[in-house]
């Protein structure tokens, strides 16, 4: 447990295992006159935590974690390194941006916004081009990228999938990248 004394309040951070889950709690003990300031700190902290800061969220082993190294790798990518014709590169970028920008259209028409998939029109064996294209796309779009490595964890894969997609909703619209799940021999893929 970490305890930090401030002028008019004390902040406690506690973490423990409960079954297979990690429980984390934060408590502020304060005088009534500091209540508004504490609420402001808590709201600002939560808002900051819901933004991505030089990171890509990576889902693996049943939970999301920060992928700063992946973000740095993506920053090195460039569309000029993608060996596709200019029209295909443009279509790929515009398809993702238009889909993400279409939320207002879905809402106006009363249609729930659903997930979509975008995959460059490549034949099998072009995985290197696909990887470079996805990295360039992740760098160039104005929406967060979320990366799923595997649904395998100490819990059922189905639960892991639900947990991943439920948590991802907080970042909508976003681009979701699924690592090659077929090669990992995962059940229904």
What pLDDT digit, counting tens, does each position of 87-117 carry? 888 888 888 888 777 777 777 887 776 655 5
Q: What are phi and psi of 50, to 5 degrees?
A: -85, 0
What is Dmax (Cα atoms) for the chain?
65
- For residues 133-149, average pLDDT: 88
Q: What is the DSSP string of 93-112?
A: HHHHHHHHHTHHHHHHHT--
H-helix segments, 61-102: 68-75, 86-101
Say what the pTM is: 0.68
């Amino acid at each position: 447990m970490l305890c930090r004394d401030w002028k008019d309040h004390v902040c406690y951070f506690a973490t423990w295992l409960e079954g297979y889950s990690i429980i984390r709690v934060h408590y502020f003990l304060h005088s009534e006159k500091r209540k508004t300031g504490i609420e402001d700190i808590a709201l600002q902290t939560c808002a900051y935590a819901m933004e991505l800061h030089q990171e890509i969220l990576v889902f693996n082993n049943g939970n999301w974690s920060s992928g700063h190294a992946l973000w740095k790798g993506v920053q090195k990518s460039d569309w000029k390194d993608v060996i596709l014709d200019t029209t295909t590169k443009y279509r790929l970028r515009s398809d993702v941006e238009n889909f993400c920008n279409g939320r207002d259209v879905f809402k106006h028409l009363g249609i729930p916004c659903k997930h979509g998939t975008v995959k460059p029109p490549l034949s099998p064996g072009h995985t290197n081009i696909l990887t470079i294209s996805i990295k360039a796309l992740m760098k160039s779009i104005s929406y967060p990228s979320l990366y799923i490595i595997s649904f395998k964890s100490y819990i059922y894969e189905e639960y892991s999938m639900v947990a991943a997609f439920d948590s991802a909703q907080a970042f909508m619209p976003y681009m979701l990248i699924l690592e090659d799940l077929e090669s990992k021999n995962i059940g229904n893929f």
